[in-house]
Structure 1
Amino acid sequence: METLTDDKWQAIINNDTSYDGQFYYAVKTTGIFCRPSCKSRQPNKENIGLFYTAEQALSAKFRPCKRCKPTGERLPDDEWITLVTEYIDRNYMDNITLDILADISHGSPYHLHRTFKKVRGITPVEYIQQQRIEQAKEQLITTGKAIAEVGSSVGLSNSPYFITLFKKKTGYTPASYRQKQIQKLGEVLENGN
């Protein structure tokens, strides 16, 4: 990998087309690599890796950006959505919007929404909610955290919204879900003895 000089960093943040073909930059947190002229959201400097060629970036397991197409080809939709899904899985507890997902995955919000739904069968927002509710269910069973604390830890800090969404997705309030799971566990232990 190449060293990030001040000139190259300036080329990236200024989307300088004169540097295209001289190097490619990869963003470690997204797994995507771009041309210096890419108009995607400015990455954090510490998350950048540089390559002389697109082939080097590909062999280091980075995927080409859908926006600037550094290999001249588009990333297949299923690979693109896999990147987005992996990002959501790692960051579900953060404030994630469609615009943020589009920025980090180097696409437009409309195209991302449409493609995500085509590939996964649900929208990105539905997937984020699904991940948050699954994590909340796990915490309700395995921890003694207060309901508000569970909601906050999965990215749903508005308690009334968390409770409403949880009930909509599971059929139970968080408190009744926890109580039901404790009862189930008690029955299993009772029947097992």
Structure 2
Amino acid sequence: MSIDLLFDEMWEKFLVCDGEYDGIFFTAVKTTKIYCRPSCRSRKPKKSNVEFYFKRIEAEKSGYRPCKRCQPEKEQTPQMCLINNVISFLLENYKQNILLEDISKHVGVSSFYLERLFKQLTSETPRTYLEKVRIDKASHLLKTTDLPVIDICFESGFRSLSNFYKVFRGVNECSPSHYRKKMSC
């Protein structure tokens, strides 16, 4: 299983304490030798003192101990495990044309149950979550590359430029080009 997250993307999620990435990766602080969930509200370290791991076992093998505040070693409920499995699937396959049926088949539950549970635990549908992942990818590419907007559209998993612009405006309240200009200032 290969999750396509770059260091800077994980750093951004860690800075804003994004709980949706809990279980997807763990943040380890070299100076304290402690690892945390991305949602941990503890004081943020310097970026140069941070390492990321996709499995808590990897962090522990590297000499890190679990944070007492966020307790990353604690197991989650079966429902949260299912949701994390869905989120991992979406992160791994965001470039693909994914239908709700594909996701439900992957995790082994009905589409109806999956959508209801996902909305209950994350406050959004799998589709809106997938769009958010794609917009996060596009935003990162707009900030860090000189790729043309059309290339970023397809690289981030959108199938049409018009849908990309519509969803991007809905999330960021500006066009991709305007966003790039804002971020380069």
Structure-2 residue corresponding to 1:92: 94
User: Whole-Å Cα distance in 1 between the matches of residues 86 and 94 of structure 2?
Assistant: 11
Aligned match of 1:115: 117
- Tell me, in whole angstroms, the C-alpha distance in 2 between the residues paired with 1:164 and 1:117: 22
1:18-167, aligned counterparts within 5 Å? Answer: 76-167=78-169
Stretches of structure 2 lacking an aligned partner (at least 5 in a row): 3-76
- The share of aligned pairs that are identical, in percent, is 26
In structure 2, relative to structure 1, the CA distance for the partners of 1:169 and 1:128 (3 Å cut) is same
Structure 1 position 157, deviation (Å): 2.8
The equivalent position to 2:171 in structure 1, one of 151, 169, 172, is 169
TM-score norm. by structure 2 comes to 0.57
Distance, in Å, in 1 between the alignment partners of 2:181 and 2:162 is 19
Assess if the C-alpha contact under 8 Å between 1:113 and 1:123 holds in 2: yes
Rounded Cα–Cα distance in structure 2 between residues aligned with 1:177 and 1:157: 20
Q: Distance in 1 between matches of 2:105 and 2:123?
A: 22
Structure 1 distance, partners of 2:152, 2:159, is: 9
CA RMSD, Structure 1 to Structure 2 (Å)? 1.5
Cα offset, 1:77, TM superposition: 1.1
1:79 maps to a residue whose letter is C
The whole-number CA distance in structure 1 between the counterparts of 2:159 and 2:112 is 27
Unpaired stretches in structure 1, ≥5 consecutive residues: 1-27, 30-74, 184-193
State the TM-score, normalized to the length of structure 1: 0.55
Look up the SS of the partner of 1:111 in the other structure. Answer: helix
Deviation of residue 116 (structure 1)? 0.6
Q: Distance in 1 between matches of 2:119 and 2:162?
A: 28
- 1:138 and 1:174 mapped to 2: Cα distance? 11
Structure 1 residue 94, shift from structure 2 partner: 1.1
What's the offset of the Cα at 1:117?
0.8
User: Matched residue of 1:95: which SS?
Assistant: coil
C-alpha deviations, 1:132-183, integer Å up to 9, x for none?
Answer: 0011000001111111110101111301110111011100100000011112
Q: What is the distance in 2 between the residues matched to 1:157 and 1:106?
A: 27
Q: Deviations over 1:45-91 (max 9, x none)?
A: xxxxxxxxxxxxxxxxxxxxxxxxxxxxxx82111111111111111
SS at match of 1:172: coil
Q: Structure 2: which amino acid aligns with 1:178?
A: R
- 1:179 matched residue in structure 2: 181
- Report the secondary structure of 1:93's partner residue: coil
Deviations 1:113-145 (A, max 9, x none): 001111112110111011000110000011111
